[in-house]
Each structure stands twice: as C-alpha cells, then as structure tokens.
Structure 1
C-alpha cells in the first residue's frame, strides 16, 4: 500500500493534533525505547526491589505509567510488526519469530509509523534490534542489503538483523554490513551446516556460556548461536559492547537532527539472551547476567534522557518506554538467571510470561514521558502498541490512508493523560488469539501444550474455554467460564468477528 497523506495547514494541525492547553509551536520529537523480554515486574516502578532502575523510575515518576498496556503478541517479531504497521500480527502468517536470514516481513510501500512521520517532515531512525527480515530472499550479505528499514520509512538504520542468539552476528548500517572485509565474505544458512564452521554442539569446550536448550550451532565470541555462519570475522559484533554501540548511534542521530523534528525507534537487545552485559554492569544486580542486563537497559534510558537534555529538546520530546513481550528467565543459556533469581518476580503479579496466553505474555511496562505536556500519574486504561501509529498520527496531524493500520485505534487522549479510557476490547496473540474485553480475559480452547518445560512457562492452553475477571483476579487463577456461559459465548462471537474481519479500526 502506498502512502497518501493529507497534511493540514500548520496552525490547524497543531490545534487539532495536540488537543491540550498551551500546544507547542512545533512538532514534538518522538522516541520509542523498546526493551526486549522486559517483564511487568522487572522494573522498580512496577514493583521490583531486587534490581535498581533509577532512570526508568524517573520516567515513571515524571510521566504517565500504564498498568494495562500490551504488546500485540507474546513474542518479538509479531509485536514489532504490529507496532510499526498497526496491523495485528495474527493477520499475517509470516509474522512469527523469524530466522536471521528471513526476507523482509514489511514490504516496501506499506504504510508504517516511520513512513507517516517521515511524510510529516520528521527525520526517522531505527537503532538496535530489527528482527523483521531483510532482502527479498536468498540475501547476499556481502552486497547491498535491501529492502529493509530504509524502504519502509526510516532515513537511517543501524541494526542487528535478527537477535543476539541468531546469526549473522553483524551490524547492518543502512544497506551494508558494517566493517565487512570483502576478502572474507559472509555465508549464512538456517538449513544445512556449513563445512568448517565450529558449533557448540560439537565443541562445547570452546564455549564460555553453554546452552540449556537449543542454541548449539555456530560459535561466535565463545557463545553458540542459532543458525550457521561463516566469514565476516572483521565485522562480528562484540556482545559486551552492544548496548554502548546502540546508545552511541542513537545519540549521533539525535545530534544530527539540527532542530528538525525526529523519530527515534531505539530497540535495545537487553534483556534478551545471550545476556552478556558490559563489564561495568557485571555484578551490579546480584542476580547474574539477567539482572545486570536490566541495569544496563536502565543505563541506556538514562543516556537518552541526558542527551535530550543536553540538546535542549527534552521538553519537546515525547518518550515512550515499553517492551516487545513478557519475561522469560531460561531462554536457552545456562547464565544462572534461574539460580540467582531469588524472590524477584519478573512478571510481577501476573501469570505466564513470554510465549504465554496468560497476561504476562503481553501485559508489559509502558511509560509515557513528555515534560510539561503529560502530567505525572498512573493510568489503568487498556492500550496496545498496535495503537501507536493511529495515536501518533493524530498527535502530529496526519490522516491514515484508507486501509492502512487496520487495527490501530486512536487512543491519544489516554496516552497523554487527558482521558482514563482506552480501548473497550483488545485481541492479543500467543499460542492462540485471546480477547481482552474490559476487565474480562477470554482464552479460547486449545489442544496445544499447556507448559513449556524448557522455559518453565505456563502457556495458558487448555481444552476448555477460560474466562477470568482481572479486576479481582489479576493472576488468572479462577476460571469463571463454566459459571458465565453466556459471556463466554458473547466473547467467542466477538473474537470470531475480529478474526474474520480484515480490520478492527473504526
């Protein structure tokens, strides 16, 4: 779908787009800080006591902290897809956790949050984890890498192609692998082993961090990953330097904007596996690498806030901090996350976690910070990351083209604290598509596994329907489906309607 925008006159835009007293005379900068596997209970402002997150706590103290905000899905690729496109991930069968050599999931011409803001005059950048595919299939990592972020609205990109535990373990800046020596070309395979490539499965003696399940293929920096990779030795990333690298590139972009409005999508790798935080953070949490990665994530937030203040733009910058899905403790490596967890509760009072139909799969931290514009407080409004494209488009005064962002609701009033009301209903995607309807949570019947032994996660699948009243049972322990058959029928009908319809946005 190509972009066609109706940009209103400047005065009308600012009056309509920012419906608040004393609207700014210029478009606000927008920064989304996207944590990875950060759970509802992993941050101090959401109740964590074992790990300190002072910079994020400051965001919450000075901004609006949401208690019922959701990613679109309980895993990373689908959530990122929904955030950028405004389409529920379950509508696209390719929107699942992708291998590192997958072709681009979001095709050129698709209306995205980045493309809308770029059309409005924003400078746009993505820095950090991508995991939305690159190229058009059979990608040559040694040449021009496209389509990718630049083809869907970003002016600048400095990304890891997939995840830290998947090859290729290199950075891509715009259309090229960073630091690649052409005499040492990169080969990548997710099907057949590459001759001469050492794997963790065959050479565990070479590992400094051992896998607990899977993650036993190509060894990079003493850690075995998913997939096979050969070559590109000069371009390989250093895991311990990754957070600092992403911060450096983000700060460079902020400095280069030179007074023009900018949109920065900073997608950190913390706290995804493999957890290898910088030496400066090692031991800081007393909870091993997972806790130390939380501390490093908090440092990242502090560096961004400090940069906005140095540039004198903090009061004209809207910052949103959230996470792509819920928490997981053992996600493939023996890093002592389980042994050192203690009484820390990554999901807080919620049940489940990453991969789960239960609330902890998609209910995530979500903080909106905009000094002088968003009053400090706590909001119980039901909102979703899929709503960002419609809401931020309204903020800056652009109209969504017909058919674009089909599932994104304009909840701007809730996001900036002018209303306590968000959505009435919200489908969320994990093993099955579940439905939030006010304070009710409906999980349809499923014969899929109820438990993931490897990650110690309750997946929330059951052969019978599940119905929970979250207003009195946030931990989803009391299934009311047998006592509320009419409500179950109503919610199943609503869910069927959503699944059949090409869009939910009014």
Structure 2
C-alpha cells in the first residue's frame, strides 16, 4: 500500500477516535453527587443574616443561600441535641428508635447499630464517609461513628459543655456538684482519645480545627464520591472563638463566633471550587435545634418565634436550612414548605440511588421540591415529641395543636444570664391551645374555641401517632417502637 495514502488516512483515524470518545463521554452517566451536611449546634432560626440575623456578618452562609434554596419552615425532629441528631442520620422520629434527650458519659443507651445511618447507606454505594465534630449518639465503642458507617471520625463524643469546668473555665470546687463529676472532655480520632480539652483556649480552637479537618477530607477524596458530616461545636455554650476572630464582629462574643463559623462555611465552599467539585456537590446547612436562650447574650435568636431550645414551641424546633447544588437547584429561591431533618435521608438516598433503609422510617423524600417543583408538598404533618416519648403537639398544614403538659420556659419566672453565665430554669403548665402558624408564627393567639372542628381533626391525627409511636403523657406504648442499644 502507498505510504503516502496511509499517512493521509491517519488524521481521519484520530478524528474518528476523538468522536467516539466524545460519544462515549456523553453517554457516560454522571458521577453520583458528593454530599456535605454542615450541622450547627444551637443555632437559632434567625441567626444567619439571610434569616434576619446580625449586626455581625455571615457573607458565606448568605452566598450559599443566594446560590441555592433557603427553607423558611424547616424543623428539627426534637428540640434537643441527641434526639435531633438521631433523626437527621436515620430519618426516624427519635421516639421510634428509643432515643431521647442529650446524653453524656453516664448514658445507659445509644443509637442502635441495627439502625441504618446516611453514612452506612452511602458507604454501601461506594462513598467515602467522614465525620468531623460532635457525635452525641453514644460515647464509646461500639457506638461511635466508625461503627455507624463512617470511615473517619475526628471530634467530641458529646456536647462541649459536658466537662468539669465552671463558667470561668476553672474546675468546679464543689466535688458534690453534678457537673464536677464529668470526666475530662475527650477529642477523639477514630476510636481513640488524642487530646483533652480542659480550658476555654481548647474550646477556642474547635471551629478552626474542625474546618481544617473537613477541608483535608474533601481534598483527599476529590476523586471519589464522598459524604462529609461536619457537626460544629458552635454556637453551643461555652462559646469558643479563635484569635483571628476575637473582637472582629463588633457584636460581642456571639457575633465573633458567628463570623468564624461563617468563615468555616466559606472554606468548605472554596475547597469545593478549587477542586472543581462545586457543581457535583450537594451542600446542606442547618442546625440541630433552636437557641439556648437562658444564656442571654451568648445565645442566638429565634426571630420572634416562641421560646427556644428544649421546648416544643417553634423557637425550639424551627431552624435555618439551606441546600445548594449548582446546576440542579435553582439559585436564590425560597420555600415555605414544611420539612424536617428526618427528610434529608430519603432525599439523599433517592438522589444518589443508594439502597433504601430496610426498616420503616419517618422521613419523606422531597427531591421534586428541591429540583424546582414548587407545587410539590411532600410533608403535611409533624408530631412534636419531647422528653422520653411525650407527644406535646401535632401540626397539620398551617395548624398546630399544643397539648396540656408541663414544659420548660424562658419566659417569666425564668431569668436570663449572660457572658457565659446561664439564667435560672423555670417550668410552666401549658393548656390545650390551637395556633394558625401561617398568621401567628409566634404562637400567641389561641384559636381552639373558634375552630373546634380543627381541634378534633388534629386530635385524630395525634391518636394515630399515639398508637404507633406511643405517648408518655397518656401512658401509651407504641406498636412500632424499636429499642435503642443498651450500654
């Protein structure tokens, strides 16, 4: 064959090969999206500036909202740390899986290993899974993150105030005082304690330390689908802030802390952008419950919602939530659809095509809403459980029925503290009351006498939950309760 003909044919072969490669690339399925959940601790509904916060600045959180979807009716499943986190990771009402309260080193129960977490479901799909921050679902093996689907863990086993130090950062002098009984606060890597936090200086480093770990995890796993659960210690008391942010906000210690956690969000987003991961990463920013108002100027804001953390009024459960996924979620959009942190698991499972949980969950998939179907109404009900399994309120649509019970309160006769010092707790007996949250988000105007048919309807909804999940207020055992792990 004429060599001149052969050489003239070579460019055609390269063109054909390039075309075939292009066709192959076009037909190749897109890689599954990375998932990042940034969970704040005790951040109130109105703490980020894009939710009405200030006078500090949160430009990175605001930017996240500008490039994604901001929810205005998003709830934690319970208004307290451990219970809320169990709901987020399992998609279940905490009472369904035997979880309640905020556990410490004396806890007699933990998240049951038989429950499937987001991490376990994504790991089975080939995801690399990492957790940085506060776990709070079991303080020792075999109930730590590595036994619940995470490849890596660096953080605290429980809240950063569960230590033997007073509000000045000194060891409690009264050895009979219950807080003096706490062991040293352990910072854990994997399953082993690598550092003891025994001062406010140690608390000051947590946000930066956690952020650096999160950035490292993203960089090390940029070529694999990954799930990162970044559960900050802040803005839970005692507040801690690094030197680079002390006094920076001009809005006191709380403002400084808000600006540092905002910086942390910015570092995560910058790392995604630098590694060309932004458009293939779903970033979810939310909080575990409302603000701990008894700490006064070291607590956040509900934006006028009633009460705060550890109450079933909306100040305790309604939290900020922003979801960003460039190219998929329409930027600068706002949704007032009712959703909860339980709904994250089934939505993530659907989007990633991971296996669904084997056991029954309570979360509802809101993928359609996330991707732009504004007519989608995935959730219409919410059961407000608190304490061990007390059903204290029920919501359906815009209506919320509060049942008679004793509850913690931040109103009179409670007192509010400040500058690290808490005020005194108080309790109050609340009566049966009906609120229209669409026109009364502060839950100030009881309408039960005007709408007895709505009261009856919500009582019937409550009875459904009482039968299946129980109700301690009525001494009812649920038929669908699963036990927590017993330590």
Structure 1 residues 386 and 306: CA distance shift in structure 2, 3 A: same
Q: Distance in 1 between matches of 2:220 and 2:210?
A: 15
SS in 1 for 2:37: strand
C-alpha displacement of 1:461 = 5.8
* Cα shift readout 1:15-53 (whole Å, capped 9, x = no counterpart): xxxxxxx99711000000001111111111001231210
**1:259-270 to 2 correspondence within 5 Å?**
259-270=223-234
Q: Distance in 2 between matches of 1:163 and 1:121?
A: 31
Partner of 1:64: 69
Structure 1 residues 234 and 319: CA distance shift in structure 2, 3 A: closer
SS in 1 for 2:255: helix
8 Å contact kept, 1:444–1:492: no
Partner of 1:486: 453
8 Å contact kept, 1:34–1:324: yes
Equivalent of residue 242 in structure 1, options 181, 206, 209: 206
1:123 is the counterpart of 2:90: no
Q: Distance in 1 between matches of 2:232 and 2:185?
A: 26
Partner of 2:182: 228
Equivalent of residue 158 in structure 2, options 150, 155, 162: 162
Q: Which consecutive unaligned segments of at least 5 residues does structure 1 have?
A: 1-21, 136-144, 168-197, 201-206, 219-223
SS in 1 for 2:162: coil
Equivalent of residue 102 in structure 2, options 70, 91, 97: 97
SS in 1 for 2:294: coil
* Cα shift readout 1:211-261 (whole Å, capped 9, x = no counterpart): 9xxx8878xxxxx96643269898223111111111111111111114110
1:328 is the counterpart of 2:292: yes
Partner of 1:368: 323
**1:301-320 to 2 correspondence within 5 Å?**
301-320=265-284
Equivalent of residue 312 in structure 2, options 339, 349, 357: 357
Q: Decide which structure has the larger Cα Rg and report it.
A: 2
Q: Distance in 2 between matches of 1:270 and 1:425?
A: 30
Moved more, 466-475 or 88-97: 88-97
C-alpha displacement of 1:397 = 1.2
8 Å contact kept, 2:406–2:427: no
Q: Distance in 1 between matches of 2:165 and 2:146?
A: 34
Partner of 2:401: 442
C-alpha displacement of 1:430 = 3.5
Q: Distance in 1 between matches of 2:443 and 2:185?
A: 49
Q: Distance in 2 between matches of 1:231 and 1:320?
A: 28
8 Å contact kept, 2:82–2:99: no
1:295 is the counterpart of 2:291: no
1:31 is the counterpart of 2:36: yes
Structure 1 residues 450 and 304: CA distance shift in structure 2, 3 A: closer
Structure 1 residues 426 and 285: CA distance shift in structure 2, 3 A: same
Partner of 1:477: 444
Q: Distance in 2 between matches of 1:126 and 1:353?
A: 27
Equivalent of residue 337 in structure 1, options 297, 318, 324: 297
8 Å contact kept, 2:99–2:111: no
C-alpha displacement of 1:415 = 2.9
SS in 2 for 1:295: helix
* Cα shift readout 1:126-175 (whole Å, capped 9, x = no counterpart): 1101111133xxxxxxxxx43311111111111201111113xxxxxxxx
**1:173-192 to 2 correspondence within 5 Å?**
none
Partner of 1:87: 92
Q: Which consecutive unaligned segments of at least 5 residues does structure 2 have?
A: 1-26, 187-192, 417-422, 470-479, 482-487
8 Å contact kept, 1:165–1:225: no
SS in 2 for 1:229: coil
* Number of corresponding residues: 420
8 Å contact kept, 1:74–1:354: yes
Q: Distance in 2 between matches of 1:470 and 1:70?
A: 13
SS in 2 for 1:312: coil
C-alpha displacement of 1:287 = 3.0
* Cα shift readout 1:357-413 (whole Å, capped 9, x = no counterpart): 211111100001011110020001111101111111111113424424x21111222
Equivalent of residue 398 in structure 1, options 354, 361, 365: 354
Moved more, 351-360 or 449-458: 449-458
* C-alpha RMSD of the superposition: 2.9
TM norm structure 1: 0.76
TM norm structure 2: 0.79
